């Protein structure tokens, strides 16, 4: 008989996502960031003490507070909708009608199964239908959705969906190539492997546009 704990371990060890949206509770923002930091600080302190660490050591004294602030303000800051970047768009006055590609966007995220880093590159493209978006906004959208416990497939989809909404077009694509430290530094301990995910919308579903995009980013992967 397979117990629920074993099933949950199998899902996590195989990095299987369970939902298209981040599983955030309705009351996620019922308390302030400062209150969250205080609660997490105590939890981190408890974990370290259980592991046998001496928190009176000068090197360790501030670790619970540092970790708590990092969780709330930095690596999981994308959970807070108030931090969502304003994706301002503009009229395409110069009538540029070809593909626009922003490649090699640095990506730092966190695997939601083991809370270990996901590190890689995102490549994003769109074809304007009358609106354009600032280049830095594409980076900020990638960053916003990365800064939360994530599954790479979901992250790829969220980036595309956000740009589709902002630009008013389905013609958006994203490819992410990233290393998962939950694979590289534990479990199978494969330091060479990386994970590639993609989401193609509108014209990018057509082989010619898809191939052009992949040629731009020099990713020799067959989709």
- Is 15 a known ligand-binding residue? no
Residue 158 bears catalytic tag: no
- Residue 73 has what DSSP assignment? I
123 noted as active-site residue: no
Tokens in use for 11? 């899902």
Catalytic, 114? Answer: yes
15, 45, 111, 158: the catalytic one is 111
> Looking at 15, 114, 162, 174, which residue is catalytic?
114
* 111 marked among binding-site residues: yes
Q: Which of 15, 45, 102, 112 is catalytic?
A: 112
DSSP state of 108: E
Distances 180 to 21, 47, 109 between C-alpha atoms, Å: 20, 23, 9
The β-bridge partners of 111 are 150
19 known member of a binding site: no
Catalytic-labelled residue, pool 45, 152, 158, 162: 152
Identify the active-site residue in 45, 113, 162, 199.
113
150 is catalytic: no
Active site residue 19: no
DSSP letters, 47-58, are HHHHHT--TTST
Catalytic residue among 15, 102, 123, 182: 182
Q: How many helices (H) and strands (E) does the chain have?
A: 7, 7
Binding-site members for Zn(2+) are: 111, 114, 182
Binding-site members are: 111, 114, 182
Active site residues: 111-114, 152, 180, 182
């Amino acid at each position: 008989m397979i117990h629920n704990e074993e099933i949950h371990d199998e899902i996590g060890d195989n990095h299987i996502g369970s939902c298209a949206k981040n599983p955030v509770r309705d009351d996620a923002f019922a308390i302030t960031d400062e209150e969250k930091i205080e609660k997490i600080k105590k939890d981190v302190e408890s974990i370290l003490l259980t592991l046998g660490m001496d928190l009176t050591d000068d090197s360790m004294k501030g670790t619970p507070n540092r970790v708590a602030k990092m969780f709330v303000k930095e690596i999981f800051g994308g959970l807070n909708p108030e931090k969502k970047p304003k994706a301002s768009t503009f009229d395409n006055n110069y009538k540029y009608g070809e593909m626009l590609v922003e490649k090699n966007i640095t990506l730092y995220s966190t695997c939601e199964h083991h809370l270990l880093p996901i590190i890689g590159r995102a490549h994003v493209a769109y074809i304007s239908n009358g609106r354009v978006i600032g280049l830095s906004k594409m980076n900020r959208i990638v960053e916003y959705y990365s800064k939360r416990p994530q599954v790479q497939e979901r992250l790829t989809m969220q980036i595309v969906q956000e740009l589709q909404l902002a630009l008013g077009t389905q013609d958006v694509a994203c490819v992410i190539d990233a290393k998962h430290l939950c694979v590289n530094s534990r479990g199978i301990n494969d330091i060479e492997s990386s994970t590639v995910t993609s989401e193609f919308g509108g014209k990018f579903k057509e082989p010619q546009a898809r191939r052009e995009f992949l040629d731009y980013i020099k990713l020799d992967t067959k989709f």
